[in-house]
Amino acid sequence: MIDKLTVVVIYFVCKVKLLYKVVKLNLEKNLFLAQLYDLYAPLLTELQRSVMKEYLLKDLTISEIAENCGVSRQAIKDAVAKAETKLLDYENKLGFFKRLQGGK
């Protein structure tokens, strides 16, 4: 029979493994977006470029950017979401990143 301590340890080990996977996926996503930003930043609006520079390159949180800009967190969250969508759309349509990586 498994005692309570063993169950708790197993539970926390599973939680840590899951958290690691989430953090790793988030880092990979942000790295990919930063690379797209390098390629397609001139196609974004000035606001989107500014927000994405702070978010991706300076690694500031949504709250920190909002505070620095004097706007709501929701406004920054919306700007980041729109910029991410545009960057992904540009890559889907133009495919420069894929070509740079050796893809067809």
CATH number of the domain to which 47 belongs: 1.10.10.10
Query: Who contacts 103 (Cβ-Cβ below 8 Å, separation ≥6)?
Result: 95
Q: How many domains does the chain have?
A: 1
14 lies in a domain?
A: no
For residue 36, give the H/E element and its range.
Answer: helix 4-40
Residue 6 lies in a domain: no
- Quote the pLDDT of residue 18: 79
In a domain, 81, yes or no: yes
Q: How many other β-carbons are positioned within 10 Å of the β-carbon of residue 83?
A: 25
Q: State the pTM of this model.
A: 0.78
Which tokens belong to 1? 């029979």
Q: To the nearest whole number, what is the mean pLDDT of the chain?
A: 90
Is the pLDDT confidence value at 20 over 80? Answer: no
CA distance 32 to 4: 42
Give domain status of residue 82, yes or no: yes
59 located within any domain: yes
Q: So what's the pLDDT on residue 7?
A: 76
The C-alpha atoms of residue 91 and residue 82 are separated, in whole angstroms, by 14
Reported confidence tier of residue 17, pLDDT bands at 50, 70, 90: confident
- Which DSSP category does 56 fall into? I
**Residue at 49 is within a domain:** yes
The residue segments making up the domain with residue 64 are 30-100
On whether residue 15 sits in a domain, the answer given is: no
The answer as to whether 20 is a domain residue is no
Who has greater pLDDT, 89 or 6? Answer: 89
Question: Which pLDDT does position 8 carry in this prediction?
Answer: 79
Average pLDDT, stretch 10-31? Answer: 82
CA distance linking residue 33 with residue 46, whole number of Å: 17
Residues 11-20 have a mean pLDDT of 80
Candidate from 10-14, 25-29, 43-47, 92-96 with smallest mean pLDDT: 10-14
Query: Are the CB atoms for 40 and 87 separated by under 8 Å?
Result: yes
